[in-house]
């Protein structure tokens, strides 16, 4: 359940409304270059779907949510044709397919290994522009983000590190 802390922080006046995909992608590449170890960035589509990044000194790790975890789309995940289309789209974008089923679908006593989400990693030298372009293509093509105005972000760090802020994204930040 969402509370007052989940409300988006107000964006600068008309910033996200006038924001183009090209400008957003550039800002995202800059943000990813600033993402440090123990820092995390989640880009959410307001209507569902997200891409998240974990900072690390030697690599950039990304995950994109699987269809079965998107609120309102879980029932669609049982449609084999739709699931195959989404998997194909994610594969074309370069994502590794999920290697783990959701816990409720794993037979009792089976090992619980892998990732339930789509994954991707970039190693040194990290291609931040490529990572940004891939994330934007995923948000648009797989999750239906029409404009950057349909996005918001969450940023946090593991204790004891301070929570980062990324104003160059020019989209609302939400706090959880």
Neighbour tally for 89: CB within 10 Å: 14
Average pLDDT over all residues of the chain: 82
Range 98-114 average pLDDT: 67
Question: Tell me, what's the pLDDT at 7?
Answer: 38
For the segment 48-90, what is each residue's pLDDT rounded down to a tens digit? 889 999 999 899 999 999 876 666 554 455 556 667 777 888 9
For the segment 85-105, what is each residue's pLDDT rounded down to a tens digit? 778 889 999 999 888 666 666
Question: Tell me, what's the pLDDT at 145?
Answer: 93
Confidence grade of residue 42 (pLDDT, cut at 50, 70, 90): very high
C-alpha span between 146 and 122 (Å, rounded): 26
Question: Tell me, what's the pLDDT at 82?
Answer: 65
Cis peptide before 125 (omega within 30 of 0): yes
Q: What would the two tokens of residue 101 be?
A: 């089923």
Which of 21-25, 144-148, 156-160 has the weakest average pLDDT?
156-160
Range 134-159 average pLDDT: 94
Kind plus residue range of the DSSP H or E element containing 53: strand 50-55
Whether residue 150 is predicted with pLDDT greater than 90 in this model: the reply is yes
Range 28-41 average pLDDT: 95
What is this structure's pTM? Answer: 0.81
Question: Tell me, what's the pLDDT at 80?
Answer: 64
Question: Tell me, what's the pLDDT at 48?
Answer: 83
Question: Tell me, what's the pLDDT at 14?
Answer: 47
Provide the β-strand partners of residue 77.
Answer: none
């Amino acid at each position: 359940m969402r509370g007052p802390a989940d409300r988006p922080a107000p964006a600068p006046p008309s910033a996200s409304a006038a924001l183009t995909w090209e400008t957003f992608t550039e800002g995202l590449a800059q943000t990813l270059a600033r993402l440090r170890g123990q820092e995390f960035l989640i880009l959410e589509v307001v209507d569902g779907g997200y891409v998240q990044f974990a900072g690390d000194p030697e690599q950039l790790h990304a995950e994109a949510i699987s269809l079965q975890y998107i609120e309102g789309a879980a029932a669609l995940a049982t449609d084999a044709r739709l699931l195959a289309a989404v998997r194909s789209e994610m594969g074309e974008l370069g994502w590794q397919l999920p290697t783990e089923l959701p816990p409720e679908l794993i037979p009792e006593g089976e090992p619980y290994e892998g990732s339930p989400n789509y994954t991707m990693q970039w190693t040194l030298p990290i291609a931040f522009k490529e990572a940004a372009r891939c994330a934007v293509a995923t948000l648009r093509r797989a999750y239906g983000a029409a404009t950057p105005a349909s996005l918001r972000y969450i940023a946090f760090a593991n204790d004891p590190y301070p929570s980062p802020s990324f104003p160059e994204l020019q989209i609302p930040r939400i706090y959880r």
